[in-house]
Amino acid sequence: MLASKLLFPLSCGPTKVARHFLLWGSKRRASFAADQKLDIKGIYPPISTPFNIKEEVDYVKLEANLEKYSSVPFRGFVVQGSNGEYAYLTREERIEVVRRVRQNVPKTKLLMAGSGCESTQATIEMTISMANAGVDAVLVVTPCYYRGRMTSAALIHHYTKVADSSPVPVVLYSVPGNTGLDLPVDAIVALSHHPNIVGLKDSGGDVTRIGLIIHKTRNQDFQVLSGSAGFLMAGYSVGAVGGVCALANILGNQVCELERLALAGQWEAAKELQYRLIEPNNAVTRKFGIPGLKQAMEWFGYHGGHCRPPLLPLTEGEVKDLHKDFTANGWL
Protein backbone atom coordinates (compact mmCIF):
# COMPACT_ATOMS: atom_id res chain seq x y z
CA MET A 1 0.00 0.00 0.00
CA LEU A 2 1.30 3.44 -0.88
CA ALA A 3 2.09 5.77 2.01
CA SER A 4 -0.35 8.33 0.65
CA LYS A 5 -3.17 5.81 0.99
CA LEU A 6 -2.33 5.28 4.62
CA LEU A 7 -2.75 8.91 5.56
CA PHE A 8 -5.83 10.13 7.33
CA PRO A 9 -6.84 13.75 6.68
CA LEU A 10 -5.27 15.83 9.46
CA SER A 11 -7.00 18.88 10.85
CA CYS A 12 -4.59 21.20 9.01
CA GLY A 13 -3.74 18.81 6.19
CA PRO A 14 -1.00 16.18 6.33
CA THR A 15 2.40 17.71 6.99
CA LYS A 16 5.57 16.87 5.12
CA VAL A 17 7.01 15.46 8.33
CA ALA A 18 4.09 13.08 8.75
CA ARG A 19 4.38 12.01 5.10
CA HIS A 20 8.09 11.40 5.55
CA PHE A 21 7.61 9.18 8.57
CA LEU A 22 4.76 7.23 7.05
CA LEU A 23 6.88 6.51 3.98
CA TRP A 24 9.88 5.65 6.15
CA GLY A 25 7.64 3.45 8.26
CA SER A 26 6.33 1.50 5.27
CA LYS A 27 9.89 0.83 4.13
CA ARG A 28 10.98 -0.16 7.64
CA ARG A 29 8.01 -2.52 8.01
CA ALA A 30 8.76 -4.15 4.67
CA SER A 31 12.27 -4.91 5.89
CA PHE A 32 11.08 -5.85 9.38
CA ALA A 33 8.40 -8.21 8.12
CA ALA A 34 11.07 -10.24 6.35
CA ASP A 35 12.68 -10.95 9.70
CA GLN A 36 11.30 -12.32 12.94
CA LYS A 37 8.93 -10.06 14.80
CA LEU A 38 10.34 -7.95 17.62
CA ASP A 39 10.89 -10.08 20.73
CA ILE A 40 9.29 -8.30 23.69
CA LYS A 41 9.83 -10.93 26.41
CA GLY A 42 10.98 -9.71 29.82
CA ILE A 43 10.03 -7.41 32.69
CA TYR A 44 9.23 -3.73 32.20
CA PRO A 45 8.35 -1.10 34.79
CA PRO A 46 5.69 1.31 33.48
CA ILE A 47 7.66 4.25 34.85
CA SER A 48 5.94 7.02 36.74
CA THR A 49 6.16 10.70 35.86
CA PRO A 50 7.39 12.77 38.83
CA PHE A 51 5.91 16.26 39.14
CA ASN A 52 7.23 19.10 41.26
CA ILE A 53 5.21 21.33 43.59
CA LYS A 54 4.26 23.51 40.60
CA GLU A 55 2.77 20.46 38.85
CA GLU A 56 5.53 20.53 36.21
CA VAL A 57 7.30 17.40 35.01
CA ASP A 58 10.45 17.03 37.10
CA TYR A 59 12.94 15.77 34.51
CA VAL A 60 15.85 15.78 36.97
CA LYS A 61 14.06 13.32 39.26
CA LEU A 62 12.92 11.26 36.28
CA GLU A 63 16.52 10.89 35.15
CA ALA A 64 17.63 10.05 38.71
CA ASN A 65 15.08 7.21 38.81
CA LEU A 66 16.38 5.88 35.50
CA GLU A 67 19.93 5.92 36.84
CA LYS A 68 18.87 3.85 39.83
CA TYR A 69 16.92 1.43 37.62
CA SER A 70 20.09 0.79 35.59
CA SER A 71 21.19 -1.78 38.19
CA VAL A 72 17.95 -3.80 37.84
CA PRO A 73 17.86 -6.50 35.12
CA PHE A 74 14.84 -5.08 33.30
CA ARG A 75 14.37 -5.92 29.63
CA GLY A 76 13.35 -2.33 29.10
CA PHE A 77 10.91 0.39 30.08
CA VAL A 78 7.36 1.41 29.30
CA VAL A 79 6.87 5.17 29.13
CA GLN A 80 3.50 6.90 29.10
CA GLY A 81 1.57 3.90 30.31
CA SER A 82 -1.27 4.30 32.79
CA ASN A 83 1.19 4.64 35.68
CA GLY A 84 2.91 7.50 33.87
CA GLU A 85 -0.24 9.65 34.17
CA TYR A 86 -0.19 10.06 30.40
CA ALA A 87 -3.83 11.13 30.38
CA TYR A 88 -2.86 14.27 32.33
CA LEU A 89 0.07 15.26 30.12
CA THR A 90 0.00 17.56 27.14
CA ARG A 91 1.01 16.20 23.75
CA GLU A 92 4.31 18.06 24.02
CA GLU A 93 5.00 16.68 27.50
CA ARG A 94 4.29 13.13 26.39
CA ILE A 95 6.82 13.38 23.59
CA GLU A 96 9.43 15.18 25.70
CA VAL A 97 9.25 12.59 28.50
CA VAL A 98 9.87 9.84 25.95
CA ARG A 99 12.75 11.76 24.39
CA ARG A 100 14.40 12.27 27.80
CA VAL A 101 14.03 8.62 28.70
CA ARG A 102 15.56 7.52 25.40
CA GLN A 103 18.52 9.82 26.03
CA ASN A 104 19.11 8.24 29.45
CA VAL A 105 18.48 4.58 28.63
CA PRO A 106 21.00 2.47 26.71
CA LYS A 107 19.98 1.11 23.32
CA THR A 108 20.26 -2.39 24.73
CA LYS A 109 17.09 -1.67 26.74
CA LEU A 110 13.84 -1.93 24.82
CA LEU A 111 11.76 1.23 25.05
CA MET A 112 8.00 1.08 24.57
CA ALA A 113 5.83 4.16 24.77
CA GLY A 114 2.09 4.61 25.06
CA SER A 115 0.79 6.34 21.94
CA GLY A 116 -2.91 5.61 22.28
CA CYS A 117 -5.43 8.43 21.84
CA GLU A 118 -9.18 8.38 21.41
CA SER A 119 -9.22 8.83 17.65
CA THR A 120 -7.38 6.76 15.06
CA GLN A 121 -6.01 9.91 13.44
CA ALA A 122 -4.59 11.24 16.71
CA THR A 123 -3.13 7.83 17.59
CA ILE A 124 -1.32 7.66 14.24
CA GLU A 125 0.10 11.15 14.75
CA MET A 126 1.23 10.34 18.30
CA THR A 127 2.71 7.03 17.18
CA ILE A 128 4.81 8.76 14.54
CA SER A 129 5.96 11.31 17.12
CA MET A 130 6.94 8.55 19.56
CA ALA A 131 8.89 6.78 16.83
CA ASN A 132 10.68 10.03 16.06
CA ALA A 133 11.55 10.33 19.78
CA GLY A 134 13.36 7.00 19.60
CA VAL A 135 11.06 4.25 20.87
CA ASP A 136 11.43 0.64 19.75
CA ALA A 137 7.70 -0.09 19.90
CA VAL A 138 4.44 1.60 20.83
CA LEU A 139 1.82 0.44 23.31
CA VAL A 140 -1.66 1.36 22.06
CA VAL A 141 -4.49 1.40 24.58
CA THR A 142 -8.06 0.73 23.47
CA PRO A 143 -10.05 3.89 22.68
CA CYS A 144 -12.96 3.84 25.10
CA TYR A 145 -14.89 7.11 25.33
CA TYR A 146 -17.58 5.72 23.02
CA ARG A 147 -17.13 2.21 24.38
CA GLY A 148 -20.64 1.18 23.39
CA ARG A 149 -19.57 1.41 19.73
CA MET A 150 -16.13 -0.13 20.23
CA THR A 151 -17.10 -3.40 18.62
CA SER A 152 -14.56 -5.93 17.41
CA ALA A 153 -14.95 -4.54 13.90
CA ALA A 154 -14.27 -0.96 15.07
CA LEU A 155 -11.24 -1.98 17.12
CA ILE A 156 -9.79 -4.16 14.35
CA HIS A 157 -10.16 -1.23 11.95
CA HIS A 158 -8.52 1.15 14.45
CA TYR A 159 -5.52 -1.03 15.25
CA THR A 160 -5.01 -2.05 11.62
CA LYS A 161 -4.83 1.58 10.50
CA VAL A 162 -2.42 2.43 13.33
CA ALA A 163 -0.20 -0.58 12.60
CA ASP A 164 -0.25 0.12 8.85
CA SER A 165 1.02 3.64 9.53
CA SER A 166 3.41 2.98 12.40
CA PRO A 167 7.17 3.18 11.76
CA VAL A 168 7.70 0.83 14.75
CA PRO A 169 6.04 -2.38 15.97
CA VAL A 170 2.73 -2.11 17.80
CA VAL A 171 1.74 -3.79 21.08
CA LEU A 172 -1.98 -3.93 21.87
CA TYR A 173 -2.97 -2.73 25.34
CA SER A 174 -6.09 -3.93 27.15
CA VAL A 175 -6.65 -2.33 30.57
CA PRO A 176 -10.36 -2.67 31.43
CA GLY A 177 -9.82 -1.31 34.95
CA ASN A 178 -9.22 2.12 33.41
CA THR A 179 -11.13 1.92 30.13
CA GLY A 180 -14.09 -0.25 31.11
CA LEU A 181 -13.40 -2.15 27.91
CA ASP A 182 -11.72 -5.52 27.32
CA LEU A 183 -10.14 -5.89 23.91
CA PRO A 184 -12.19 -8.84 22.61
CA VAL A 185 -10.39 -12.13 22.07
CA ASP A 186 -11.65 -12.44 18.49
CA ALA A 187 -10.24 -9.00 17.69
CA ILE A 188 -6.88 -9.92 19.22
CA VAL A 189 -6.73 -13.12 17.19
CA ALA A 190 -7.52 -11.24 13.98
CA LEU A 191 -4.94 -8.54 14.73
CA SER A 192 -2.24 -11.10 15.58
CA HIS A 193 -1.95 -11.77 11.84
CA HIS A 194 -0.81 -8.21 11.15
CA PRO A 195 2.96 -8.17 10.45
CA ASN A 196 3.46 -4.99 12.47
CA ILE A 197 1.48 -6.06 15.57
CA VAL A 198 3.81 -8.07 17.79
CA GLY A 199 1.91 -8.67 21.00
CA LEU A 200 -0.47 -7.69 23.77
CA LYS A 201 -0.23 -6.31 27.27
CA ASP A 202 -3.27 -7.66 29.13
CA SER A 203 -4.02 -6.00 32.48
CA GLY A 204 -7.40 -7.58 33.11
CA GLY A 205 -6.11 -10.29 35.43
CA ASP A 206 -8.17 -13.11 33.89
CA VAL A 207 -5.58 -15.87 33.46
CA THR A 208 -8.09 -18.10 31.64
CA ARG A 209 -8.49 -15.35 29.04
CA ILE A 210 -4.72 -14.89 28.77
CA GLY A 211 -4.28 -18.62 28.25
CA LEU A 212 -6.96 -18.67 25.56
CA ILE A 213 -5.36 -15.74 23.71
CA ILE A 214 -1.96 -17.45 23.79
CA HIS A 215 -3.50 -20.71 22.59
CA LYS A 216 -5.29 -19.04 19.68
CA THR A 217 -2.32 -16.90 18.56
CA ARG A 218 0.60 -19.23 19.14
CA ASN A 219 1.09 -19.88 15.40
CA GLN A 220 1.40 -16.14 14.70
CA ASP A 221 4.65 -15.34 16.55
CA PHE A 222 2.50 -13.18 18.84
CA GLN A 223 3.59 -12.53 22.44
CA VAL A 224 1.56 -11.72 25.55
CA LEU A 225 2.74 -9.69 28.54
CA SER A 226 0.98 -9.90 31.90
CA GLY A 227 -0.12 -6.43 32.94
CA SER A 228 0.45 -6.82 36.68
CA ALA A 229 2.83 -8.41 39.17
CA GLY A 230 -0.20 -9.81 40.98
CA PHE A 231 -0.71 -12.54 38.40
CA LEU A 232 2.77 -12.65 36.87
CA MET A 233 3.52 -16.26 37.85
CA ALA A 234 0.12 -17.40 36.63
CA GLY A 235 0.76 -15.61 33.34
CA TYR A 236 4.05 -17.45 32.87
CA SER A 237 2.35 -20.74 33.66
CA VAL A 238 0.04 -20.36 30.62
CA GLY A 239 2.67 -19.01 28.24
CA ALA A 240 3.05 -15.27 28.81
CA VAL A 241 6.57 -14.06 28.01
CA GLY A 242 6.94 -11.27 30.56
CA GLY A 243 5.18 -8.49 32.36
CA VAL A 244 4.62 -4.76 32.51
CA CYS A 245 4.27 -4.38 36.26
CA ALA A 246 3.65 -1.23 38.31
CA LEU A 247 5.26 -2.88 41.33
CA ALA A 248 8.53 -3.14 39.37
CA ASN A 249 8.91 0.62 39.91
CA ILE A 250 9.49 -0.25 43.59
CA LEU A 251 10.50 -3.91 43.86
CA GLY A 252 12.18 -4.31 40.48
CA ASN A 253 14.74 -6.90 41.50
CA GLN A 254 12.08 -9.01 43.20
CA VAL A 255 9.77 -8.95 40.17
CA CYS A 256 12.70 -9.92 37.94
CA GLU A 257 13.53 -12.74 40.37
CA LEU A 258 9.99 -14.03 40.05
CA GLU A 259 10.51 -14.09 36.29
CA ARG A 260 13.77 -16.04 36.72
CA LEU A 261 12.17 -18.62 38.99
CA ALA A 262 9.22 -19.15 36.66
CA LEU A 263 11.41 -19.55 33.59
CA ALA A 264 13.63 -22.00 35.50
CA GLY A 265 10.61 -24.07 36.46
CA GLN A 266 11.21 -23.45 40.17
CA TRP A 267 7.51 -23.18 40.83
CA GLU A 268 7.53 -23.67 44.62
CA ALA A 269 10.00 -20.82 45.16
CA ALA A 270 8.13 -18.73 42.58
CA LYS A 271 4.85 -19.37 44.40
CA GLU A 272 6.27 -18.20 47.73
CA LEU A 273 7.63 -15.01 46.19
CA GLN A 274 4.39 -14.42 44.31
CA TYR A 275 2.43 -14.65 47.55
CA ARG A 276 4.56 -11.87 49.08
CA LEU A 277 4.04 -9.59 46.08
CA ILE A 278 0.25 -9.81 45.86
CA GLU A 279 -0.72 -7.40 48.66
CA PRO A 280 1.89 -4.71 47.85
CA ASN A 281 0.97 -4.95 44.19
CA ASN A 282 -2.73 -4.59 44.92
CA ALA A 283 -1.95 -1.60 47.16
CA VAL A 284 -0.16 0.36 44.41
CA THR A 285 -2.65 -0.55 41.70
CA ARG A 286 -6.30 -1.24 42.52
CA LYS A 287 -6.34 -0.08 46.15
CA PHE A 288 -4.48 3.25 46.14
CA GLY A 289 -3.40 3.59 42.52
CA ILE A 290 -0.80 6.10 41.41
CA PRO A 291 -0.73 8.08 44.70
CA GLY A 292 0.09 4.81 46.49
CA LEU A 293 2.73 3.92 43.90
CA LYS A 294 4.43 7.29 44.27
CA GLN A 295 4.38 7.16 48.06
CA ALA A 296 5.92 3.68 48.10
CA MET A 297 8.60 4.75 45.63
CA GLU A 298 9.76 7.37 48.14
CA TRP A 299 10.18 4.70 50.85
CA PHE A 300 12.44 2.67 48.59
CA GLY A 301 14.71 5.53 47.55
CA TYR A 302 13.06 6.54 44.29
CA HIS A 303 11.48 9.85 43.38
CA GLY A 304 7.73 9.41 43.25
CA GLY A 305 7.07 13.11 43.36
CA HIS A 306 3.67 14.76 43.39
CA CYS A 307 0.66 13.61 41.41
CA ARG A 308 -0.96 15.94 38.93
CA PRO A 309 -4.49 16.95 40.02
CA PRO A 310 -7.21 15.86 40.09
CA LEU A 311 -5.23 13.00 41.67
CA LEU A 312 -4.67 13.76 45.35
CA PRO A 313 -1.97 12.44 47.69
CA LEU A 314 -2.86 9.74 50.18
CA THR A 315 -4.43 10.66 53.51
CA GLU A 316 -2.52 9.90 56.71
CA GLY A 317 -4.67 6.83 57.27
CA GLU A 318 -4.07 5.58 53.75
CA VAL A 319 -0.31 6.00 54.14
CA LYS A 320 -0.41 3.81 57.26
CA ASP A 321 -2.50 1.20 55.46
CA LEU A 322 -0.11 1.21 52.50
CA HIS A 323 2.88 0.84 54.82
CA LYS A 324 1.25 -2.17 56.47
CA ASP A 325 0.81 -3.91 53.10
CA PHE A 326 4.57 -3.72 52.56
CA THR A 327 5.71 -4.48 56.12
CA ALA A 328 3.35 -7.47 56.50
CA ASN A 329 5.09 -9.10 53.55
CA GLY A 330 8.63 -8.33 54.69
CA TRP A 331 9.50 -5.54 52.28
CA LEU A 332 9.82 -2.71 54.80
Residues noted as catalytic:
201
| Nearest alpha carbon to residue 227 among 253, 255, 250, 254 | 255
The residues, any chain, with a CB within 8 Å of residue 42's CB and separated by 6 or more, are 74, 75, 76, 110, 241, 242, 259
Which secondary-structure segment (H or E) carries 200? strand 197-202
Contact 78, 139 (CB under 8 A): yes
Q: Output helix, strand, coil percentages for the chain, rounded to the nearest 5.
A: 55, 10, 35
Other beta carbons within 10 Å of 92: 9
Three-state SS for 63-104 is HHHHHHHCCCCCCEEEECCHHHCHHHCCHHHHHHHHHHHHHH
